[in-house]
Amino acid sequence: MAVKFTVLRTDGSARAGVMETARGIIHTPQFMPVGTQGTVKAMSSEELLSIGAEIILGNTYHLYLRPGTDVIDALGGLHRFISWPGPILTDSGGFQVFSLARLRDITNEGVTFNSHIDGSSHFLSPEKAMEIQRALRSDIAMCFDECPPYPSSYDYIARSLRLTTEWAKRCREAIPPGSKTAVFGIFQGGVFRELRRESLEEIVEIGFEGYAAGGLSVGEPKDLMHEIITYTAPMMPPERPRYLMGIGDLRDVLLAVESGYDIFDCVMPTRNARNGTLFTSRGRLSIKRAEFKRDDSPIDPDCACPTCLKYSRAYLRHLFLAREILSMRLNTIHNLSFYMRFFREMREAIMKGRFKEFKSRWLPVLEENFR
């Protein structure tokens, strides 16, 4: 199997584990920095490794459109192309087709859409999405699914699940168990418990190396999202990694890990960094604020990231106001380090049976960062 998952320790429903892949071990719970266009924005591979990143996410939709699958394939796959030595998980392109591109047509066969870059017409199907991810040499490919927007009616989502299940079967056939590339199944169902259960059962029935909740954090109220997170985790096969897609508010992550989810991805730390919004042990900080003009202290006195070890708030404020590239670099290093530290400490807490203490220690910090 391309991904071997072992739960090392549980603490309540929270799990600490390892995902073994041909390209390296991933400790769970784990956060995956998002490398949309073949680069985690502003970061080099060395910097990602230095702050403890173990796996990154690549976006199939973006890479398929530019530079094109054929290019990356010819250059030896995504890892070699971008010079990232660790594992890569690729999404299927489904989410972007439904959110970023101009959608033209959905049939059983697949989806026709126009590129957000140049308007050109493209067709994506389960088979095509798997073929692309295999050409990228992805370590973990995600199933191609339909992603209904929020709000969608119960009936619409119920119908949509038939497509998602059929497409999941075709994805599995395209990359059968035992292939070099692992495949994770995605279940949908919106904010409806019944549909979530039904979808999960159908996807598990097909059988994948891991399972992922899709279609959350798409605009639904937080309490509904939380309900679905806590409801679904215990139903998912315990011997497989559980991936909560696209969720990066660390309060939600905390709840999800407490419920039994293992892996996460989100653009929030990197995007916020570029906008000058920084996470700290004392709450969120907007680096452009006038009060930092002469502030010689680091972003976060409790942080040991390369940015906090060397640079003052005053300098980072200056770089941000002067729109310097180094601003985005240093801010991104800091925010990703914050996420990495949160996940590392969470994992250690679970290993020591101290998740509850971890939670009560971090929750007030997270409230100050994500309110």
Q: Which positions are catalytic? A: 91, 265
Residues 19-38 that bind its own copies (CB under 8 A): 37-38
Strands (E), 136-230: 140-142, 182-187, 210-213
Residue of the chain from 27, 79, 128, 317 that contacts its own copies (CB under 8 A): 317
Q: How far is the CB of 355 from its own copies (least distance, A)?
A: 36
Q: Does 325 bind its own copies (CB under 8 A)?
A: yes
Which stretches of 77-153 are DSSP H helices? Answer: 78-82, 94-99, 126-135
State how far the Cα of 291 lies from the Cα of 222, in Å rounded to an integer. 33
- Of the candidates 252, 210, 264, the one whose C-alpha atom is nearest the C-alpha of residue 366 is 252
Q: Which of residues 104-143 bind its own copies (CB under 8 A)?
A: none
Closest approach of Cβ 22 to its own copies, in Å?
Answer: 21
Residue of the chain from 6, 83, 107, 153 that contacts its own copies (CB under 8 A) = 83
With contacts defined by CB under 8 A, name the span among 19-27, 75-83, 210-218, 356-364 that binds its own copies.
75-83
Residue with smaller CB distance to its own copies, 44 or 153: 44
Binding to its own copies (CB under 8 A): which residues in 292-311?
A: 293-294, 296, 310-311
Kindly tell me which residue out of 49, 75, 304, 363 binds its own copies, with binding defined by CB under 8 A.
75
- Judge whether 111 and 99 are in contact, CB under 8 Å: no
Task: For residue 165, give the 3-state DSSP assignment.
Answer: helix
> Among residues 37 and 179, whose Cβ is nearest to its own copies?
37
Question: How far from the centroid of its chain's Cα atoms is residue 362's Cα?
Answer: 21
**Least distance between its own copies and beta carbon 41 (Å):** 6
CA dihedral 190→32→267→324, nearest 10 degrees, is 180
74 interacts with its own copies by CB under 8 A: yes
| Contact call for residues 261 and 243 (beta carbons, < 8 A) | yes
Is 39 a residue that touches its own copies (CB under 8 A)? yes
Contact 307, 340 (CB under 8 A): no
Q: Taking each helix axis from N to C terminus, what angle separates 193-206 and 222-232, rounded to the nearest 10 degrees? A: 40
Which residues in this chain contact its own copies in the complex, by CB under 8 A?
37-39, 41-44, 66-67, 71, 74-76, 81-83, 293-294, 296, 310-312, 314-315, 317-319, 321-322, 324-326, 328-329
